[in-house]
Structure 1
Amino acid sequence: MTERTAPEDRPRTVLLRGGEVHSPADPFATAMVVEGDTVAWVGSEGAADSFADGVDEVVRLDGALVTPAFTDAHVHATATGLALTGLDLLDADSLTDALARVRAHAAARPGDRVLLGHGWDASRWPERRPPSRAELDAATGGRPLYLTRADVHSAVATSALLDLVPGVTELPGYHPDQPLTGDAHHAVRAAAHASVGTAQREEAQRATLARAAALGIGTLHECAGPTISSEDDLTGLLGLAARTPGPRVTGYWAEAVTGPAGLAKVRELGAVGAAGDLFVDGSLGSHTACLHEAYADAPHTGTAYLDTDAVAAHVAACTEAGLQAGFHAIGDAAVSAVVAGVRTAAEAVGLDRIRAARHRIEHAEMLTPETIAGFAELGLTASVQPAFDAIWGGEDGMYAERLGADRARTLNPYAALLRAGVPLAMGSDAPVTPLDPWGTVRAAAFHRTPEHRISVRAAFTAHTRGGWRAVGRDDAGVLVPGAPADYAVWAAGELVVQVPDSRVADWSTDPRSGTPGLPDLTPGGRLPECLRTVVAGRTVYARPNE
C-alpha cells in the first residue's frame, strides 16, 4: 500500500483507490474520498481520477479491502490491559501449566504489592479443578495474588490477599476450599484493584487501546461499575481516549439508579448510560447465572442479584431522565426478570419512550421464544459475544456440562433474534475472551448449533453498525457519504458472500448479486490482517512498513 502525502495544515482530503471498498452505497466501489473526519464519496476507480489532483493524500490500496472499523460493544479496558501486560491464563492447557505461569509471573514482578492474573478455566483442564489456595501460596512464595476465572465472576486468591480483607470469611460467596463468588469475591477484587496505581492503570489502558487499534477496532464500549472497576478507572480511561489518538471509547456505568443522585453520577462520570454489567445474575461457568431449573452439575439455580421490581424501577428512572439503561443477564430466569421488569416500566412511562431509549442487555444467552418476543416488543438491544459459543458451546463443552446438552443447544440463538427484529451489537467481553473482531464474526456465522448461525454479512453489520446503533447513532458504522471516517484497511484475499446454510454452497462470488463481499471466514482459514485503522479521519494504527 503506497501513498502520496501533503502537510497537515488544514482538514485533509484523502483519496483511497485501487482496492475494494465495502459500502452499501456502491457494492462495486473501489475508491473512497475522506474529507477531514467524514466520508465524502465512494465509487469506481475510473471516477476517482476526477479527485486525484485535488486531494492532500492518495492512498494506493493495491487490492486491499476497506471496511468500516469494528465496534467492540463490551470490554473492560483496564482488566484487558493487565492481562495483555501481565499474567494471562486464557490459553493455559492444564493446572500444572497455570501454576508454572503463576510462579514465573511472581518471579518477574518482585515489586508488585498484589499480583494480578486472569483467565483460568478448569473446565478445559485435564485436572478438572481450579488451583487450591495452598498451591497458589506455594507458587507465589506467600505473596498476595488475585486470579480471576475466565468469566470474571469468580476468583481464587492467596492467603496473603485474604488477610488484607477483614471479615471476608463471613461474607456470602466465601468457601475455604472453593473459588470466591458473590460478596466475598467483590470484596477481594476491590482490595486487589486498590493496589493498581495510576501509572499501572494507564499502562494497561494504553495496551488495550493499542491492541484494539491494531485489530481494526475503532470504538470500544467500556462496561464499568462500582463492583468491577471504579469511578477513577472509568474517568481515567475516558480522559486517556479523549487526549490520545486511538479508538473512541463510550462509557457505561453499572449502578442501579434510585434517585437524582444516581442519575447525576452517571452524567458526571461521562457515561452514556446506567448500563453494561449491572448484574441481574452471574455466569454459567461459575454456577451463578440464574436459571429456572437447577444446573445439571449443581443442586441449585444460581444467583439473582436484581428482581423484576428493581429492574422496573431502574428502567423507569433512566427513561424519564433520557438515559440509556441496561443489565447483565445470562440465565433464563435472569432474562425473564429483565423482560418482565422492562415491560412493567413501559406500563409506567409508555412503550414508545422505552423503545426510543434503546435499553440494552449484555450477553442474553439463555433466551426462549417468549423472551425473544419481549426483546422485540420493547426495543431492547442484545449485546452479545459469539466467542462464548466458540469456546464453551458444543455437545461436549462447558455449557453442556452445566446445563445438559438439550438446554445448552438453546444458547445464543442469533438467527432467531434477527428474525424477530432484535438489534444485535457484538463484542468480546475482553478479557473474558480476547479482542478478535473477525474471529467474533466467524463464531456467529459458524455457531456450534447450526440453527443459530447467521450470515457473515449480518454478523459483520452487528459488529460494526450495530455497536453505533446501540448508542443511538444510526449514521455511523458504514462507509457512505456523510458517515464518520472510521475505517480499517485489510489484507483479506478473495471476497465472497457467505451464508449459514450448509445444504448449498457456502459462498458466492457472483458480482451480479450486488451484495458487497467480505473475507472468506471458513473455520481453519486465515483471518484478514489489519494494515491500517483510521478513526475520525486520523490514522491510529499502521502496520510497520505500510
Structure 2
Amino acid sequence: MSDRTAPVPGAPDVSERTVLLRGGEVHSPADPFATAMVVERGHIAWVGSEGAADAFADGVDETVDLAGALVTPAFADAHVHTTATGLALTGLDLSGAASLADALALVRKHAAAHPGDAVLLGGGWDAARWPERRPPSRAELDEATGGRPLYLPRVDVHSAVATTALLDLVPGVTGLTGYHPGAPLTDAAHHAVRAAAHGAVTPAQRTAAQRAALDRAAALGIGTLHECAGPEISSEADLAGLLALAADGPAPRVVGYWAEPVADAKDAERIRALGALGAAGDLFADGSLGSHTAALRAPYADAGHAGKAHLDAAAVAAHVAACTEAGLQAGFHAIGDAALTAVVTGVRAAAGRLGTARIRAARHRVEHAELLTPEHIAAFAEFGLTASVQPAFDAAWGGDEGMYAERLGVERARTLNPYAALLRAGVPLALGSDSPVTPLDPWGTVRAAAFHRTPEHRISVRAAFTAHTRGGWRAVGRDDAGTLVPGAPADYAVWRTGDLVVQAPDDRVARWSTDPRSGTPGLPDLTPGAELPFCLRTVVSGQIIFDRLNG
C-alpha cells in the first residue's frame, strides 16, 4: 500500500504544467532551509535554495514569486461529513446561539426566510453551553416554525430534536429505540427521522451543499477530505454524487469510506463498487459523550447509566477478518472505554485467526478513540490501528469546567484524548474535524493538539502538523505523500504568516527554535491568541483549487 506508483485515492487529473515557486519559505524535510520548489506533472520535482532555483527558470511554464509566503503540504482532514458540512454552511447554524431563547429566535428567522423548503434543516446546538441547560422542546420548535417539519441534530449529531410535523412523516417512530417523549431522539428513532429529513433534500440542494463544503475546505488549505459516509449517516447517492463532484474539480480530493459491516468478499466488492476505500469511518461501536450514548465501563457522572454499545467483540472480529481477507480497510467509531475494549478485543481475535502481520498491513482505523486506557493504546500500537482523532473536541469540551467533566467527572475527563501517550507508543495519528461537529479549521486543530487542555496530553506543533498532513495520507495507505519532497504528489498550500518557530509542550524548545543550527523547519506560532495563517493558494496534484495569491 505504500508503493509510489499506486493511484492516489480520490485524485483529480494531474496538471501537466511545470511551475517554479521561489522567494518564500518551503516547509520540507528534504531541505530545512528551502526557499524554492519546482512542481512538474503533478508531483514535487525539486526543493532547494533561491540561488539554485535559477537553473530551472528557463524550463518552466510559470514562475511564482512567493514574496516571503510559506509553502506547506496541504492539510488532510481525516474525518468529515461533507454534505452535512455544506448544509450547515448554507442552512441554519445554531453553533453561535448563546441561549435557548437565542436558538429559538434563529429558528424563527430561518423558517421565515425559507418558505419553500419541504423540511427545515439545521444543527450545531449544544444545551450544555446555554444558561437554560436544556434543549428546545417539541412544542417550542412547533411554535417557532409555524408547524413545519424541522430537523435539528445536536452538535455531536448523535441526538436530535424535531418538530411534530417531521415526526408525522416517520410512521411508527414512537415505537423505535431512542424515542422518549420530551427528550431528544437517539438510536433507531434518530436514524429514521434523519433519513426522512435528508430524503427531502433535492439533488440540487445536495450538490450546492457539497460544493459549499469543498470550497470552504479549499480556502482553508485542505487538499484531502476523508468522507465518512454510511447508511445511517447519508446515502449511497450522496457518496456517489460527492465523489463525482470532487473528481470533476477543481476541488479537494475526497477519499470515501462506507460504514457498513462486511461479512464476505461479496460485501467487500459492493463497498468498492460504491467508490469507497474501506468499510470504515462511522461504523458505530457506540455513540457520543455529549448525548450520553458513548459506551462506558462505569456510569456517567450526570446520568444513571453507562451508554449503549452497538457492536460486541465478535462482530468487530468478523468485520475486521472479512475486510482483511478482502484487502479492504476496516474501521469503527468508538469513543467510550467499553466500546474501545470491544474494538481491540475483536481486532485481537481477528489477528488470532489471520496473524498480526496481516492485520497491521491492512491499516485499519478507529475514529475518535477518546476514552483510552493504557491497555487500549498498547493494542492500537500492536495491531497498527490508526487513531483518527479530533483535537477540537478537547478545545470545545475539555478542561475541568467543560462538558467532558460534567459527563464523566473531572478525573475521568482528564484521561480523554491522550495524544502524547499515543505518539509515545508509536500509534499512527491522523487529525480531523468531524465537521460539522466542529468546523473545518486545520491550523486551529493543530493548535488544539499542541495546547490540549490537559497538559500531559499535549504534543508539539510539528507532531500535530505532521498528523494533519502526512498522517492523513498514511491513514489511506500512502507513505510517500503529505510532505514536500521530490516524488511526492504536489498537494500544497501557500500561506501568509508571521515568524516561523519550533513549538513544543516544553517551552524551552522555543529558546533554540529560531537558531539556524537546529536544522529544524519552522512553522507558524500557534500560541493561543496568535493570529492563524491566512491561506493564499491551495493546490492538489499540481492543480490550483483555490487562489488569492495575486488578489
User: Do both share a fold (TM > 0.5)?
Assistant: yes
**Is the CA contact (8 Å cut-off) linking 1:292 and 1:332 kept in structure 2?**
yes
SS at match of 2:71: strand
SS at match of 2:306: coil
Residue correspondence of structure 1 range 324-403 to structure 2 within 5 A: 324-403=329-408
Single out whichever of 471-480 and 238-247 deviates more from structure 2.
238-247
Q: Does residue 58 of structure 2 align to residue 86 of structure 1? A: no
Indicate the residue corresponding to 2:308 in structure 1.
Answer: 303
In the TM superposition, what is the alpha-carbon distance from 1:497 to its structure 2 partner? Answer: 0.3
TM-score using structure 1 length: 0.97
Distance 2:492 2:295 in 1: 39
Indicate the residue corresponding to 2:429 in structure 1.
Answer: 424
Residue correspondence of structure 1 range 482-497 to structure 2 within 5 A: 482-497=487-502
Output the aligned Cα RMSD: 1.2
Q: Does residue 293 of structure 2 align to residue 288 of structure 1? A: yes
Indicate the residue corresponding to 1:124 in structure 2.
Answer: 129
Indicate the residue corresponding to 2:146 in structure 1.
Answer: 141
Indicate the residue corresponding to 1:407 in structure 2.
Answer: 412
Residue correspondence of structure 1 range 180-329 to structure 2 within 5 A: 180-329=185-334
In the TM superposition, what is the alpha-carbon distance from 1:260 to its structure 2 partner? Answer: 3.4
Match of 2:485 among 480, 484, 493: 480
In the TM superposition, what is the alpha-carbon distance from 1:509 to its structure 2 partner? Answer: 1.1
**Is the CA contact (8 Å cut-off) linking 2:372 and 2:415 kept in structure 1?**
yes
SS at match of 2:276: coil
Q: Deviations over 1:98-134 (max 9, x none)?
A: 1111111101111100000010000011111000000
Q: Does residue 32 of structure 2 align to residue 32 of structure 1? A: no
Partner amino acid, structure 1, of 2:521:
P
CA separation of 1:503 and 1:291: change in aligned 2, threshold 3 A: farther
Match of 2:476 among 471, 476, 494: 471
**Is the CA contact (8 Å cut-off) linking 2:433 and 2:439 kept in structure 1?**
yes
In the TM superposition, what is the alpha-carbon distance from 1:175 to its structure 2 partner? Answer: 0.8
Indicate the residue corresponding to 1:441 in structure 2.
Answer: 446
Distance 1:299 1:506 in 2: 50
Q: Deviations over 1:159-182 (max 9, x none)?
A: 000000000001110011000000
SS at match of 1:498: coil
Partner amino acid, structure 2, of 1:70:
F
**Is the CA contact (8 Å cut-off) linking 2:15 and 2:543 kept in structure 1?**
no
**Is the CA contact (8 Å cut-off) linking 2:503 and 2:509 kept in structure 1?**
no
Distance 1:484 1:260 in 2: 32
**Is the CA contact (8 Å cut-off) linking 1:14 and 1:35 kept in structure 2?**
yes
CA separation of 1:506 and 1:154: change in aligned 2, threshold 3 A: farther
In the TM superposition, what is the alpha-carbon distance from 1:264 to its structure 2 partner? Answer: 2.0
In the TM superposition, what is the alpha-carbon distance from 1:502 to its structure 2 partner? Answer: 4.4
Indicate the residue corresponding to 2:7 in structure 1.
Answer: none
Q: Deviations over 1:407-434 (max 9, x none)?
A: 0000000000000000000000000000
CA separation of 1:338 and 1:55: change in aligned 2, threshold 3 A: same
Indicate the residue corresponding to 2:181 in structure 1.
Answer: 176
Partner amino acid, structure 2, of 1:392:
W
Indicate the residue corresponding to 1:3 in structure 2.
Answer: none
Residue correspondence of structure 1 range 516-535 to structure 2 within 5 A: 516-535=521-540
In the TM superposition, what is the alpha-carbon distance from 1:258 to its structure 2 partner? Answer: 2.0
**Is the CA contact (8 Å cut-off) linking 2:249 and 2:545 kept in structure 1?**
no
Q: Deviations over 1:131-188 (max 9, x none)?
A: 0000000000000000000000000000000000000001110011000000000010
Match of 2:46 among 41, 50, 53: 41
Distance 2:69 2:509 in 1: 29
Partner amino acid, structure 2, of 1:335:
L
**Is the CA contact (8 Å cut-off) linking 2:226 and 2:257 kept in structure 1?**
yes
Match of 1:115 among 120, 124, 134: 120
Partner amino acid, structure 1, of 2:338:
A
Partner amino acid, structure 2, of 1:173:
G
In the TM superposition, what is the alpha-carbon distance from 1:265 to its structure 2 partner? Answer: 1.6
In the TM superposition, what is the alpha-carbon distance from 1:350 to its structure 2 partner? Answer: 1.0
Distance 1:113 1:476 in 2: 44
Distance 2:15 2:349 in 1: 53
Indicate the residue corresponding to 2:16 in structure 1.
Answer: 11
SS at match of 2:205: helix
TM-score using structure 2 length: 0.96
**Is the CA contact (8 Å cut-off) linking 1:499 and 1:506 kept in structure 2?**
no
In the TM superposition, what is the alpha-carbon distance from 1:503 to its structure 2 partner? Answer: 6.4
SS at match of 1:74: strand
Indicate the residue corresponding to 1:4 in structure 2.
Answer: none
Indicate the residue corresponding to 2:59 in structure 1.
Answer: 54
Q: Deviations over 1:241-286 (max 9, x none)?
A: 1112110000000001123332122011000000000000000000
In the TM superposition, what is the alpha-carbon distance from 1:446 to its structure 2 partner? Answer: 0.1
In the TM superposition, what is the alpha-carbon distance from 1:507 to its structure 2 partner? Answer: 7.1
In the TM superposition, what is the alpha-carbon distance from 1:469 to its structure 2 partner? Answer: 0.3
Structure 2 unaligned runs (5+)?
1-13
Distance 1:83 1:245 in 2: 22
**Is the CA contact (8 Å cut-off) linking 2:18 and 2:41 kept in structure 1?**
yes
Partner amino acid, structure 1, of 2:414:
R
Aligned-residue identity in percent: 79
Distance 2:511 2:295 in 1: 37
Q: Work out the number of aligned pairs and report it.
A: 538
Structure 1 unaligned runs (5+)?
1-8
Match of 1:537 among 525, 531, 542: 542
Partner amino acid, structure 2, of 1:419:
R
Distance 1:389 1:506 in 2: 28
Distance 2:511 2:184 in 1: 44
Distance 1:358 1:485 in 2: 24
**Is the CA contact (8 Å cut-off) linking 2:29 and 2:485 kept in structure 1?**
yes
Distance 1:480 1:261 in 2: 39
Distance 1:26 1:461 in 2: 16
Distance 2:316 2:123 in 1: 30
SS at match of 2:493: strand
In the TM superposition, what is the alpha-carbon distance from 1:505 to its structure 2 partner? Answer: 4.5
